[in-house]
Amino acid sequence: MPKTPADLFAYLDDLGIQVTTVSHPPLYTVADSQALRGDIPGAHTKNLFLKDKKDNYFLVTIEEDAQVDLKQIHHMIGAASRVSFGKPEALMALLGVAPGAVTAFGLINDDKGAVRFVVDSDLVRQETINAHPLTNEATTSVRSEDLLAFVRATGHEPAILKVSS
């Protein structure tokens, strides 16, 4: 059973990580987010759940306005081949979230370490990062270094790479 937002907040609290969360109508795209989220300060994320031909999975987190070259990113992230978007069933099985709610916080559900986490180096330079807390009906703000601490606490070593163009 995937973790709930309440489970996530308890986990973050146990780690001593302070967050601020704002509830809002469901947001499915970056455009939805920009139109409906209001004034939530900090960098907002876009998340790509990718897989290569050998069924290696990657979660790539970048700033919402950043662009990535999906034909070339496999070279940067260490994929075995070109990548495609992972299927919704794999997303739910590995990260416990549905399309539209993809988030770095989903790593709390990947207890087998099946997903490699890649975060854009431009994003981690920001003081505050905003991400969905396992649901697209809220946005959680966390300090950049605390997000990386969370990722490490889940057993994932973040790959901090320049993947945006």
Q: For residue 106, give the nearest of 74, 81, 140 by alpha carbon.
A: 140
Question: Residue 68 belongs to a domain with what CATH number?
Answer: 3.90.960.10
Position 13 scores a pLDDT of: 98
Structure tokens belonging to residue 3: 């973790």
Give the strand pairing for 43-51 and 128-131: parallel
- Per the DSSP assignment, residues forming a β-bridge with 60 are 48, 118
- Cβ–Cβ under 8 Å, residues 106 and 90: no
CB within 8 A of 152, min separation 6: which ones? 158
Query: Quick one: average pLDDT of 92-116?
Result: 97
Local confidence band at 37 (pLDDT 50, 70, 90 cut-offs): low
pLDDT at 39: 76
What's the chain's Rg over C-alpha atoms? 15
Summarize the confidence of residues 120-139 as an average pLDDT: 96
Which burial class, exposed, middle or buried, applies to 2 when counting CB atoms under 10 A from its CB (0-12, 13-18, 19+)? middle
Range of the domain at 13: 5-161
pLDDT score, position 38: 66
Sign of CA dihedral 103, 109, 114, 117: positive
Whether 121 contacts 161, CB under 8 Å: yes
Confidence of residue 36 (pLDDT cuts 50, 70, 90): low
pTM: 0.93
* Per-residue pLDDT, 137: 93
Q: How many domains does the chain have?
A: 1
Q: Can you tell me the mean pLDDT for 20-28?
A: 85
Whether 39 contacts 20, CB under 8 Å: no
